[in-house]
A = this chain, B = another copy of it.
Amino acid sequence: MKLSKKSAYALKALACLGSPDTPPLISIQELARRENIPKKFLEQVLLALNKAGLVQSNRGKAGGYALRGAPAGITLGDIVRAVDGPLSPLPCANPLAPVKCADCASLEHCWLRILMTEVGAAVNTALDQTTLADICRRAEQSKRSRHVRAPMYEI
């Protein structure tokens, strides 16, 4: 379960979109600047998020991006799946569109496939426990905590 750069950028971008400090519509360029993400790469990330319905875009001058749904309704799993595709441990272990492995004789009786299907389900479930709302809360907190001084002892 390595987090790809793409997913990491997606998380940062969405956290930014969900921040109270962000205008209702923000351009790729500005988003890239704020989150320190390569602009052209962020482009692709937002494209994927848009296709998955997690954000909405306005084209043309003064265009930009905004969240599409409520942060509480978007899970960490949704985000990762949107940019990296289904997070199945093996191609054959995707419950929706299983792809037979080269060396496996039968999908049917492969214990590794069955095991990994369960593992994949567990991972998906784990990632779906956290919502974008949670993520935004954390981001705000750490933003705040970075501004305060080191704690001092009161007498």
Contact = CB atoms under 8 A, between A and B. Distances in A.
Interface of A is mostly: helix
A8 interface: yes
Contacts of A12: 112
B89 A2 contact: yes
Q: How many copies does the complex hold?
A: 2
Contacts of A106: 146
Q: How large is the interface on A (under 10, 10 to 19, 20 to 34, 35 or more residues)?
A: 35 or more
Contact of A76 (B119, B135, B146): B119
A110 B142 contact: yes
B112 A119 contact: no
23 contacts: A1-B1, A1-B89, A1-B119, A1-B123, A3-B89, A3-B116, A8-B90, A11-B112, A11-B115, A76-B119, A106-B146, A109-B142, A109-B145, A110-B142, A111-B135, A111-B139, A111-B141, A111-B142, A114-B138, A114-B142, A115-B138, A119-B126, A122-B129
